[in-house]
Amino acid sequence: MTTLDRPSTTSTNRALPANASEWLHDPVFNKGTAFTDAERDALGLRGLLPPHVQTMDEQVQRVMANFHSKSSDLERYIQIVGLQDRNETLFYRVVMDHLEEMMPIIYTPTVGKACEQYGHIFRRSRGLFISLKDRGHIGTVLRNWPTRDVKVIVVTDGERILGLGDLGASGMGIPVGKLSLYTACAGIHPTQCLPITIDVGTNNETFLYDPLYIGLREKRLRGEAYDSFIEEFIQAVQNVFPRVLVQFEDFGNSNAFRLLERYRDKICTFNDDIQGTGSVALAGILSALHLTAGKQMRDQRVLILGAGEAGMGIADNIVSILQEEGCSIAEARKHIWFVDSKGLIVKGREALTEHKVHYAHDHAPCLDLLTAVKFIKPTMLVGVSGQAKSFTEEIVKAVAGFNARPVIFALSNPTSKAECTAEQAYSWTEGRAIFASGSPFAPVTLNGKTYVPGQGNNAYIFPGVGLGVVATGARRVTDAMFIKAARTLASLLRKEELAEGRIYPSLKRIHEVSLAIAVAVAEEVYASKLTDQPRPANLIQFILAQMFKPEYPDYAT
């Protein structure tokens, strides 16, 4: 087939390259040294590549050799994102084949370092940057994206990147990384994924005076002007990409809850920091119950350090489970306590926000976590505070004193922000702790026994939820989907994994996990009549058929 004979677009409505240079420089189509002899002749590539045609396996071998030669994780991040910019198919083959090794690089914890240095390591733009300069013209900016077949948007305004705070436009690493996981974990086609950073300024003084900062050098927009800008963005997205799934990511607390409530019943959207974190934490809690002498959720007292998006998402999901066990909502909330920067959240405390009031109980004030632990005697201690080392030895030992199998979740990201390490949790409890973290920790050997810490990574949840929503054409995303996702994830844990101390399946099984969650979410979509599409006879095969596989097409035929 000659260049003129080929169709002008792909199945995802992405225009094919017009000349040899574009074939080699468009990451969607570039195969690098894997272009066959027939393709080199048909596409005018003869002489523009070394003569040896490499297999994809040989290319992966070269990538991994270079990857392992790097001296730091940040250098590995730069290398692997550079591959994504050159050859997306090969990038996803590498990531899928080496997911346990790659996930800490393309996502937490290394992506946090990359965002902090984003302007300094910037090579090539990915996604869309929509700034205050674009007011009144956001639709035009969205139409600059090269394809209309966008199914998932991950958007941030950079105000609360992981536990690192306001990184402004440098937060783009987060939506890029999240969408890489949508593809690597759940098979959503990379051309159907759009990362967006909304730049409304930053209050990060270091960035404001950094000559290499890539965003607007002005203070953050607030109030009605901010809301108006977000509204224009949402309306433009609906016009340009109808029925797209919009995932809010790493917005500040003051906006995250508000925006979710404003749009959740109007468009297909969710907030991963609230709902995704709540779901993955709930799955870990349900798994932990298998290791705590058969106790039920109604037997638990959960103390959460950090009353922001993640903490409230976790609490609300626990309440849902307790309601399923027969508790009233008021009774269910009594099982959950919060400590924030001002101490234990109790009734009568001044200036409590609306979402905190629901979990304010009758109790004397406790100004620090240790005092709260001694009074509440929690069965589960969950950290989502972003405050490193806040689970001290005294605190962890106190929780262990009340429980034969204390549940300790140090979920703050990145690793530098974890409330305690896996080694500390196991050693301070003589190996009795049921531990999970947000970023990965290596297995810990104590007194001859090896413990494999769980990683409460949202990547277990959001890709599968997104796949179920996209595959069915759902109009809305509901809390029930995240409860089903959590129950599905917990149900997939194997006995041998529990025996190792895991409360999440191995990441090697992530495609199995994502498919199972997508099927559970799809069932909820059809049961709740959230789509106009008919239910397929074989739901598993229907979803499997839509999942991207990193294989090179033949452009010569």
Q: What is the CATH number of the domain that holds 334?
A: 3.40.50.720
Identify whether residues 480 and 395 lie together within a single domain.
no
Residues 442 and 482 both lie in one domain: no
CB 193 within 8 A of CB 249: no
Q: What is the pTM of this model?
A: 0.94
pLDDT at 12: 53
Whether residue 360 sits in one domain with residue 217: no
Q: Are residues 253 and 174 in the same domain?
A: yes
pLDDT tens, 314-340? 999 999 999 999 999 999 999 999 999
Does residue 297 sit in the same domain as residue 429? Answer: yes
DSSP string for residues in 400-464: HHH-SS-EEEE--SSGGG-SS-HHHHHHHTTT--EEEESS----EEETTEEE--EE--GGGTHHH
**Do residues 326 and 348 share a domain?**
yes
Same domain flag for 453 and 512: no
As annotated, the active-site residues are: 107, 178
Q: What is the pLDDT of residue 173?
A: 97
Q: Is residue 239 part of a domain?
A: yes
Pair (454, 523) in one structural domain: no
Does some domain include residue 249?
A: yes
pLDDT of residue 294: 64
Asked whether residue 51 is domain-assigned, the answer is: no
Residue 3 lies in a domain: no
**Encoding tokens for residue 276?**
């995704």
Determine, yes or no, domain membership for 423. Answer: yes
Same domain, yes or no: 263 and 283: no
Q: Does residue 492 lie in a domain region?
A: yes
Q: Are 138 and 259 part of one and the same domain?
A: yes
Question: DSSP code of 275?
Answer: I
149 and 162 fall within a common domain: yes
**Number of folded domains that form the chain:** 3
The residue out of 215, 247, 267 marking a domain boundary is 267
The confidence score (pLDDT) of residue 143 equals 98
Is residue 24 in a domain? no
Give every residue of the chain whose pLDDT is below 50, as ranges.
1-11
For strands 336-340 and 343-344, give the pairing.
antiparallel
pLDDT recorded at residue 500: 87
Residues 394 and 489 both lie in one domain: no
Which helix or strand (DSSP H or E) is residue 296 part of?
none
- Residue 3: what pLDDT? 36
**Assigned domain for 70 exists:** no
What is the CATH number for 255?
3.40.50.10380
What residues make up the domain containing 533? 460-497+504-544
Final residue in a domain of this structure, among 406, 441, 459:
459
Percent helix, percent strand, percent coil in the chain, to nearest 5: 50, 10, 40
